[in-house]
A and B are shown apart, each in its own frame.
Chain A
Amino acid sequence: MARIEVKSEITGTVWQLKAQPGDKVESGDVLIVIESMKMEIPVITEDGGTVKEILVKEKDPVSEGQVVAIIEE
């Protein structure tokens, strides 16, 4: 099983968690919403699979390129 790291494209704070460990997700699904510069920026998975871990919680600061979730294919 391939372990896929999902990263935030932008620096900001975690606004909403849209997925939880165990959720089945498809390519293009929103896992987390980051708030940055008053915008809601989705963290989208490019791969389908099962959410293994969500590595952040709401209001956490995140930086660009930070791994925020792990998906297992």
Chain B
Amino acid sequence: MSWQPEIDELHRRRALAEICGGTEAVAKHHAQGKLTVRERVAALADPGSFREVGKLAGKATYDAVGQLTGFEPAPYVMGLARINGRPVAIGGEDYTIRAGTGFGSDRRKGGQGGFIEDLAFEYRIPLINLIDGTGGTVNTAKRKGYTVVPGYGQDGIERSVELLGQVPVVSAVMGTTAGGPSMRAILAHWSIMVKGTGQIFAAGPPIVERAFGEKLHKDELGGTKIAVDTAGTIDNVAENEQDCFEQIRRFLSYMPQNVWEMPPVDNNGDPVDRCEDALASIVPRSNRQAYNMKKLVGLIVDRDSLFEIQPTFGKAVITALARMNGKVVGIIASNPMVGGIMDVKAARKQGHFAELCDMFNIPIILFADIPGLMVGRESEADAILREGVRTRYILGQVKVPMLTVIVRKCYGVAGGGFIDRAGLNFKIAWPSGEWGSLPVEGGVKAAYRREIESAPDPAAREREIETELKQLASPFRTAEAFAIEDLIDPRETRPYLCQFIDAMQGRLASQIGPKYRAGVRP
């Protein structure tokens, strides 16, 4: 006797799951420029690598003799797949079924905790969550006959919290997202949102209108402009779903599978001794003039290896993953194109990125051209000191080696955050480098007030003191005193750094594993 009838039934039920929310719902979904969740997984994962788990989960109805009469699949689709040849736990809501809202036991599949998070945790593989759900519904009370306390059952974030210390977690906002799923979007090492079709908020336009009488389009409330560029709630923007999948693959290519492994080495053959002549003149002689730091960094790291994290938020600092002689590095660089002055957004961005690198054993290279913290009433009201010092605190706890290249300015509290004081304190500078507690121009009047005021010609005396101090500010003098470890020809930057990045690999390999941080962040 064969089990063929049951096997046929199994395949019939799998085929029913493939229908998603029905032809009409899928057509509507497609018309909005959105793929279904299975199409998304297929486009993101290595071809043919998706092994779906729990495809039979859902709500079935039966006739009197126990024959299946109807089936609504569980709205969360998940399983195992490969990306860049490596296994990942992957899942996402099927918006065509109840707007992606799961309930009952099928909620165990994932979306808000559940099997998919457990799989990533137990197997120590990255988790990718393709979010297209709106979370809870008041219907729950009607179904259950009672209301539940938030965080009940699978809604807890305990597992998500553990994951953030162990495996890379990526979330993609592929649709309008609120409530529980929006929380999952934040509980990630890196997040991305699709322009136009993705929105994220604590609550959507109808609730906002009820609360404040303000009528807003969902894009005004939680589109990429607000959630990514302005708030930094989500890290990167994707132009469309395809771009989103490419960026996810790119991000994961820099990540180890978990904190017990080293990030993958990928040498694209870019010669270590490539010394770009453009670097000798990229920094203008006038320290008032800006230059393109992204281009500068791009000339130093492995060709085409620069991948920016949060490119549109907190633009005073550039954070990026890159490679040096094939090894993954994190880049933190001031951005003189917007003044390079650290504001609260740049501070948050820099601190978060440093933690990401630290967690996954990625050494950090800092390119400093930082005049200081943002001053002024508005900035003080934003808590610039607390945010700026918190970032320094985070950098003070980082366990991966950091290398500093002082390209131009390095001043004050913010400048100190660009130096590996907790480690080797290794900093090299270009001849354009200048540093101190604060720039000479701003500090003379304050430090020499009495002397200037009592001089016969105060303005002339101020200029005199300024000239005197500026001579002392020559980077050669600091190099003589070994108060900067080296002053280098900008063209040597790549071979210089590559040699040190290569040399620290043993140290990095010796400190794999979860990193716990003691203390209370300011």
| A10:B289 contact, CB within 8 angstroms | no
Most A-side CB within 10 Å, residue of B337, B374, B441: B337
B411, chain A: closest CB distance, angstroms = 12
Interchain CA distance A44-B340 in the complex, whole Å: 17
Q: How many pairs, one residue from A and one from B, have CB atoms within 8 Å of each other in the complex?
A: 30
Contacting residues of chain A (28-50) with chain B, CB-CB under 8 angstroms: 36-42, 44
Interchain CA distance A35-B293 in the complex, whole Å: 18
Interchain CA distance A36-B316 in the complex, whole Å: 13
Interface residues of B, dominant DSSP? loop
* A39 neighbours in B (Cβ, 8 Å): 288-290, 336, 339-340, 371
| B288:A40 contact, CB within 8 angstroms | yes
| B341:A37 contact, CB within 8 angstroms | yes
Q: Check A9 for interface membership: any CB of B closer than 8 A.
A: yes
| B341:A41 contact, CB within 8 angstroms | no
* B290 neighbours in A (Cβ, 8 Å): 39-42
CB-based nearest A residue for B409: A39
* B288 neighbours in A (Cβ, 8 Å): 38-40
How many interface residues does B have (CB within 8 Å)?
14
Interchain CA distance A39-B339 in the complex, whole Å: 6
Q: Check B427 for interface membership: any CB of A closer than 8 A.
A: no
Interchain CA distance A42-B286 in the complex, whole Å: 14
| A38:B338 contact, CB within 8 angstroms | no
| A40:B315 contact, CB within 8 angstroms | no
| B289:A40 contact, CB within 8 angstroms | yes
B344, chain A: closest CB distance, angstroms = 14
Interchain CA distance A42-B292 in the complex, whole Å: 10
B372, chain A: closest CB distance, angstroms = 9
Closest 8 CB pairs of A and B: A9-B338, A39-B339, A10-B338, A37-B339, A40-B288, A40-B289, A41-B290, A36-B339
What residues make up the interface of B, taking CB atoms closer than 8 Å to A?
286, 288-290, 315, 336-341, 371, 374, 441
Query: Please, could you name 25 A-B residue pairs with CB atoms under 8 Å apart, sorted by A?
Result: A9-B315, A9-B337, A10-B338, A10-B339, A37-B341, A37-B371, A37-B374, A38-B288, A38-B441, A39-B288, A39-B289, A39-B290, A39-B336, A39-B339, A39-B340, A39-B371, A40-B286, A40-B288, A40-B290, A41-B290, A41-B337, A41-B338, A41-B339, A42-B290, A42-B337
- Apart from A37-B341, A39-B371, A41-B339, list 19 A-B contacts with CB within 8 A: A9-B337, A9-B338, A10-B338, A10-B339, A36-B339, A37-B339, A37-B371, A37-B374, A38-B288, A38-B441, A39-B289, A40-B286, A40-B289, A41-B290, A41-B337, A41-B338, A42-B290, A42-B337, A44-B337
